[in-house]
Amino acid sequence: MAYAAGVSTQFDSLQTFGPDPDAQETAFEAPPDDERIWLGELIGRGGSAEVRAAVQPVLGRQVAVKRPRHDAGKHLPRRSLLREAWITGALEHPNIVPIHDIAYQHGDPLIVMKHIEGISWDQVMDDPADRFPEASDPLSWNLGILLSVCNAVAFAHSRGILHRDLKPANVMIGEFGEVYVVDWGLAVSLDDDRDGRVPLAREVTTISGTPAYMAPEMGLGRGEVLGVHTDIFLLGGILHRIVSGRPVRNPTDLDAMLAALPTERVPIDPTWPLADLLGRMLAPRPADRPASVAEVVTTLRHHLGTREASRLLTSARAKLADLEKAVAREQDRLAIYDVYGACRFAFLEALARWPDAPEGRQGLERSALAMTRYELAQGDDRAAALLVSRLEDPPPDVVAELARLRSERQSREGRLRLLASDIDPQIGLRARVVVAATMALVWVGPPVIVGLLGLRGYEREVAIVLPTALLTTLVLSLGMPWLQSTRMNRVMLFAVGMSPALAGAWIAAAWLAGLPPEVASALKTFAFLTMVTTAGFLGEWKLLPSSLAFLVALLVGASRPDLAPVALAGANLAVVANAVIVWAPGFFRKT
């Protein structure tokens, strides 16, 4: 029986369904039986019953009411209507219309049920998108509805109930896609332990059902042959209507149809979707049909998955073609990865719905290989290695190119590590601090001692430079293994080692040229100034303040030759102190 849509406005004149909040408490008492239901306009009418819109005033909600017909001599026995209510009320399932109550009016039972604002399936089956925009694929949409119907029927079977009148007209589709199996008036019980409210299948002695969909055994009028297989045939009839566009049969001679029914073999076009399943569900012999509705559900879900997977594969193939074009043209890297991500996602989604989907694995391989070659061309072996890990059998040329790029990168990184180590000021720091502290004694001691001895002229200069050079050579010889570890240490080694040698060379040149000792002293100090400044620029710029000390010593020695040794000693002490201040904190941080 149809449950028409659009009845929500028939009680618009009612301002409220509930009692007046300002009324006395007695207003909340239950109304008399005759006032429990307010009947509204007709929704639909069957052979011996009708459905009307109604209101339950106590709850203030719209409902649908099924009651017997009394017009045109039609009459539905009360017990038959009550049985339908008892059966439906016992089957609480999301895809079965809930029964709210059984009321009475003028002695007639009123079956109060959920009001469905929707339309019967048979009215939208051929063109569902006209009513439901999401149904862009009619076959998939209808199969989805059939799955919901199967769920309701499987639940009923688990409670020992057969529907016996499954057809599109007995399925309601709500405005929001809700699916309800209705009209359980022909339902029977397979269990003998019921309370007598539901007729037993084995007691059926008449032929009942819808001729266009009836199972062969239903035409025998013998209840003992009915079973789960009967509803499975009816579900097959609905599937036949979905894939072929017409019911199982359209009889013009009912007697002839019933006579042929027990042995009838429904013709199945092998090109139809789900033709194998349909042939089994509509098999004349119950034993040849699927053993349960669950088996039907499994096949339907697999088909829907493969159908959706096929759609995704079509999209994925197009994206794969776009990816290969983008890689060939070496388009923007981000744009290429966007296309690859969409392509890979489409293939993975297809495989999730259909693990054995043709081209699914191959598509993933092709897309990953295209990206691998792209990254190899970009010289990025790490990204290429990640992509290669997604390939089951990488081509030999890809493996060889990846190995070559990896070797080049590792060699390059090795050189960079050596360079980073070479310029790391923390490496060799202790050696520099120890040498600097030692040089404080080596460079400061001789000038002080010579100044105390009162030596003058070239004797003074030789007495300063010669022991300084010898002691410096000794210290550097001992520290040589540690002072060659980094560039900074090598610069220090050069500067420290060359300073006394250069000073000695200047003194010798001045003596050979016949210059005064004062000039030799100034040239010696200038030699130290030059080397300290060079070491600052080439090694540790934080030592450059020491250059200022040697510049002062140079000026003092030139203007006051008698103070030259002391000025030089002060400059030497300054450079050592400068080095200790710069490097000592790091010395104590080392472990």
pLDDT tens column, 239-256: 999 999 999 998 888 888
DSSP, collapsed to helix, strand or coil, labels residue 526 as: helix
**pLDDT attached to residue 417:** 83
Answer whether residue 1 is part of any domain: no
Average pLDDT, the chain: 83
CB contact at 8 A, 247 and 237: yes
In order, the DSSP letters of 384-407 are HHHHHTT-SS--HHHHHHHHHHHH
Residue 215 pLDDT class (50, 70, 90 cuts): very high
Q: What is the pLDDT of residues 408-431, one digit of tens each?
A: 999 998 888 888 777 776 776 777
Averaged over 256-285, what is the pLDDT?
Answer: 92
Which range has the top average pLDDT, 315-324, 409-418, 483-492? Answer: 315-324
Read off the CATH number of the domain in which 100 is found. 3.30.200.20
**pLDDT attached to residue 588:** 58
Answer whether residue 491 is part of any domain: yes
Answer whether residue 304 is part of any domain: no
Count of domains observed in the chain = 4
Q: What is the pLDDT of residues 46-102, one digit of tens each?
A: 767 888 889 988 888 889 888 887 764 555 567 788 888 888 888 889 999 888 888
CB contact at 8 A, 113 and 88: yes
Can you name the residues that pair with 54 across neighbouring β-strands?
Answer: 39, 63
**pLDDT attached to residue 380:** 92
**pLDDT attached to residue 32:** 55
Determine the structural domain holding residue 90 and report its residue range: 25-115
Answer whether residue 488 is part of any domain: yes
Q: Is the dihedral of CA 82, 83, 88, 89 positive or negative?
A: positive
pLDDT at 299 over 80: yes
- For residues 122 and 173, give the distance between their C-alpha atoms in angstroms, rounded to a whole number: 10
Buried b (16+ CB within 10 A) or exposed e, 130-161: eebeebebbeebbbbbbbbbbbbbbbbbeebb
DSSP, collapsed to helix, strand or coil, labels residue 168 as: helix
More confident of the two residues 404 and 561: 404
Same domain, residue pair 185 and 64: no
Helices (H), 360-456: 360-378, 381-388, 396-423, 429-453
Burial class (CB within 10 angstroms; exposed 0-12, middle 13-18, buried 19+) of 337: middle
Residues 6+ apart with CB under 8 A from 193: none
Same domain, residue pair 437 and 415: no
In order, the DSSP letters of 231-272 are HHHHHHHHHHHHHHSS-S---S-HHHHHHHGGG------TTS
- For residues 246 and 382, give the distance between their C-alpha atoms in angstroms, rounded to a whole number: 60
Amino acid at 249: R
pLDDT at 333 over 80: yes
Answer whether residue 6 is part of any domain: no
| pTM > 0.75: yes or no | no
Same domain, residue pair 400 and 432: no
CB contact at 8 A, 572 and 539: no
Same domain, residue pair 319 and 464: no
**Residue 526 half-sphere exposure toward CB, CA atoms < 13 A:** 12
**pLDDT attached to residue 336:** 93
**pLDDT attached to residue 19:** 43
**Of the candidates 85, 115, 145, which is a domain's last residue?**
115
Same domain, residue pair 406 and 439: no
Crossing angle for the helix pair 429-453 and 564-589, nearest 10 degrees? 160
pLDDT at 7 over 60: no
Same domain, residue pair 414 and 450: no
Answer whether residue 12 is part of any domain: no
Same domain, residue pair 45 and 102: yes
Residue 292 pLDDT class (50, 70, 90 cuts): very high
CA dihedral in degrees (138, 143, 146, 147; nearest 10)? -140
Same domain, residue pair 492 and 564: yes
Q: Is the dihedral of CA 149, 151, 156, 157 positive or negative?
A: positive
Which range has the top average pLDDT, 33-37, 334-338, 443-447, 546-550? Answer: 334-338
In order, the DSSP letters of 64-132 are EEEEE--GGG----HHHHHHHHHHHHH---TTBPPEEEEEEETTEEEEEEEPP-EEEHHHHSS-GGGT-
DSSP, collapsed to helix, strand or coil, labels residue 281 as: helix
Averaged over 457-466, what is the pLDDT?
Answer: 82
CB contact at 8 A, 20 and 65: no
Averaged over 302-326, what is the pLDDT?
Answer: 91
| 9-18, 136-145, 198-207, 478-487: least confident range | 9-18
Of 167, 162, 118, 165, give the one whose Cα is nearest residue 146.
167
**pLDDT attached to residue 143:** 96
Residue 589 pLDDT class (50, 70, 90 cuts): low
More confident of the two residues 485 and 181: 181
User: What percent of the chain is modeled with pLDDT above 70?
Assistant: 89
Same domain, residue pair 459 and 579: yes
**Of the candidates 367, 397, 420, which is a domain's last residue?**
420
Answer whether residue 63 is part of any domain: yes
- For residues 471 and 2, give the distance between their C-alpha atoms in angstroms, rounded to a whole number: 115
DSSP, collapsed to helix, strand or coil, labels residue 206 as: coil
Token representation of residue 416: 């960079």
Residue keyed to tokens 């699914």: 360
**pLDDT attached to residue 31:** 55
- For residues 374 and 371, give the distance between their C-alpha atoms in angstroms, rounded to a whole number: 5
- For residues 65 and 1, give the distance between their C-alpha atoms in angstroms, rounded to a whole number: 12
Answer whether residue 297 is part of any domain: no
- For residues 215 and 226, give the distance between their C-alpha atoms in angstroms, rounded to a whole number: 9
Averaged over 203-212, what is the pLDDT?
Answer: 87
CB contact at 8 A, 102 and 110: yes
Same domain, residue pair 402 and 480: no
Q: What is the pLDDT of residues 371-386, one digit of tens each?
A: 999 999 999 999 999 9
**pLDDT attached to residue 319:** 93
**Of the candidates 58, 91, 115, which is a domain's last residue?**
115
Burial class (CB within 10 angstroms; exposed 0-12, middle 13-18, buried 19+) of 328: exposed
Residue keyed to tokens 């061309």: 377
Averaged over 118-129, what is the pLDDT?
Answer: 92
Averaged over 337-344, what is the pLDDT?
Answer: 94
Same domain, residue pair 58 and 110: yes
pLDDT at 365 over 60: yes
Same domain, residue pair 140 and 282: yes
Q: What is the pLDDT of residues 534-571, one digit of tens each?
A: 777 776 777 788 888 888 888 888 888 878 778 877 88
Residue 148 pLDDT class (50, 70, 90 cuts): very high
CB contact at 8 A, 243 and 274: yes
Give the Å distances, CA to CA, from 169 to 113, 124, 217, 303, 313. Answer: 18, 10, 22, 24, 35
pLDDT at 16 over 70: no
CB contact at 8 A, 142 and 125: yes
